[in-house]
A = this chain, B = another copy of it.
Amino acid sequence: MPEKPELDFPRPLTTVDVVIFAIRSDALQVLLVQRPRAEGEPFPGSWALPGGFVDIAGDRDLEACAARKLKDKTGVVSPYLEQLGSWGSATRDPRGWSATHAYFALLPEHAAGGALAADAQWFAVEGEKVRPKLAFDHAEILHAAVQRLRSKVEYTSLPAYLMPPEFTLPELQRTYEIVLDRALEKSAFRTRMLAADLIEPVARMRKGPNRPAQLYRLKRAKAPVFFARTFNPPG
């Protein structure tokens, strides 16, 4: 019973990892970084989630640490960032008992192409996995992140944070469909999206191979909107 803590109580290694999602090339993608090959590094050369040790001198708190790591790898300053959970055990890092605080971030496509770090690269999410074998327990964390994303997409407006500043309703629906990997009903989608009061029409229209499409933008900044019902699969 460590109810009499000492400051010398052995401390786990503490890291923060960020699962960064974006829609690129009509697919859900996640940003991975390649582990350094320096001596003493675990999983040299493996792909891993962006992250690393908490800097107790520089990081004010966990979220600031996650935002810093995100900015280091992508240049993006303030996307949607949500805490995912934490993973800690004696065995997940060969260097000893370690705990990571995992976050997940959503980037709009236009922001995802920017100032990528040299060791970073986008990978398509296939099912709930990614092609390369990931370092540490990062496959498990990614799995949880995809599940959380998919589950929240069912009843919130989260995918709106994957969109550019202005977008059409069909574009938004396509984003939902990519994340859910499932077709959605056009008119029900429209009704619910407008009822959710999250997006508002802007004056301009987008011209395409069809009639002019109304452009929308996000109304609020950060709060995902909850729907009354989940999306039921058509058919």
Contact = CB atoms under 8 A, between A and B. Distances in A.
Nearest to A68: B1
How many monomers of this protein are in the complex?
Answer: 2
Given A14-B12, A57-B10, A90-B60, A52 B3 contact: yes
A202 interface: no
Contacts of A99: 14, 54, 62, 99, 101
Contact of A14 (B11, B59, B155, B226): B11
Interface string A196-230: 00000000000000000000000000000010111
B60 A89 contact: yes
Contacts of A61: 88-90
Given A14-B12, A99-B62, A229-B229, A85 B83 contact: yes
Interface string A47-85: 000001111110111100000000010000000000101
A4 B36 contact: yes
A96 interface: yes
Nearest to A56: B97
B86 A4 contact: no
Contacts of A11: 11-14, 56
A77 to B, nearest CB: 16
A7 interface: yes
A234 interface: no
Interface of A: 1-5, 7, 9-14, 36, 38, 40-41, 52-57, 59-62, 72, 83, 85-90, 95-97, 99, 101, 155, 226, 228-230, 232
18 contacts: A1-B52, A5-B41, A10-B57, A11-B12, A12-B14, A12-B56, A54-B88, A56-B97, A59-B90, A60-B89, A62-B87, A62-B88, A62-B89, A85-B85, A86-B101, A155-B155, A228-B230, A229-B229
